[in-house]
Amino acid sequence: MKLCAQKAVEEARERNLQLPEEKNGRIVTLTNTDGKQYGGMTNKPVQEFKEFVEIASRSDANVLEIGAAYGTPYLMETFKKESMGHYTACELVGDQLRILATRIEELDPSKLSNLTLIEGPFPHKEVIDHLQEGGYDAVLASSVFHFLTEEEVVEAFKQVHRLLKPGGKLFAKMMTPYNGVTKPEAVQKAVEEMQNYLVHKTRPLPGFIENVRDRSRVRESITDEQLEGFGLTTDMHGFQFDKDVMNIFLESENFLIETCDYSPMNLPPFKLDGRELLVVVAQKPK
């Protein structure tokens, strides 16, 4: 569903919607209509994907952010620039977009015209129908794809490729199995599944988790309260990405890979050995 940015501001003020308080370095997302929360957002300055902000800051640019939350640092950094193009913010929870719109209005009311708001789950049809095929110079998906199913992951990358202009780039960051929350035996099982995929290259794509809070795969030292504090609710599925598998998958989806490598997540209890996150920058061929 497409939201009018100005109307979103009015609705947020009528209902007194506010940016939630940051806790443990994260602002947890609001509860979705399915009764679940999907992770959180940080307000820390942009470190990775500065190129995305550079592209978005061009006056002729058209960019898309999947999982824009309340206004990620990438989005806010872009709207602080003197020059910028058009920015489409896609988000599962509509009230987060309403809060996002108020933040932009407070920053610079004239820039609401540079903002398009799309509410709904990517890559489902109700979102895709509002997006421009071959219309985006860059697509950003930071901490989004690890909330999808295997089928949705495959469809998401297909849709991103379809939405990008020739030469346009995808910037993505995702969780891996190599983190301080997952038991070593569960990590070993994931590694074996991924090695099998690398040999046979047959679907399904490895990495799907039926329930991210399944105590048989979560370390005993990690409490339910800690998981809830990061927006990981009961009975929520997830997906974990491996570098070697992602390289093959991106090539199979006709992306040119610029970066596909691990990055640290210095945020307990996830922090482990520097491979907690996978960072991807890939281009649609010109």
Q: What is the pLDDT of residues 83-142, one digit of tens each?
A: 999 999 999 999 999 999 999 999 999 999 999 999 999 999 999 999 999 999 999 999
Superfamily of 2-283 according to CATH: Vaccinia Virus protein VP39 (3.40.50.150)
Nearest to 111 by CA among 68, 71, 80, 89: 80
Q: Report the mean per-residue pLDDT for the chain.
A: 92
pLDDT at 224: 83
pLDDT tens digit sequence for 188-233: 999 999 999 999 887 789 999 998 888 888 999 888 888 777 767 6
Nearest to 269 by CA among 175, 200, 205: 175
pLDDT at 209: 92
pTM above 0.85, yes or no: yes
pLDDT at 86: 98
Q: Which residues pair with residue 182 across a beta bridge?
A: 218
Spell out the long-range contacts of 102-105 with Cβ–Cβ below 8 A and sequence spacing 24 or more. 102/8, 102/9, 102/12, 102/13, 102/17, 103/19, 103/70, 103/71, 103/76, 104/5, 104/71, 104/79, 105/9
| Structural contact between residues 175 and 276, judged by C-beta atoms closer than 8 angstroms | yes
pLDDT at 38: 78
- Give yes or no for residue 36 having a pLDDT over 80: no
- Give yes or no for residue 260 having a pLDDT over 90: yes
pLDDT at 233: 67
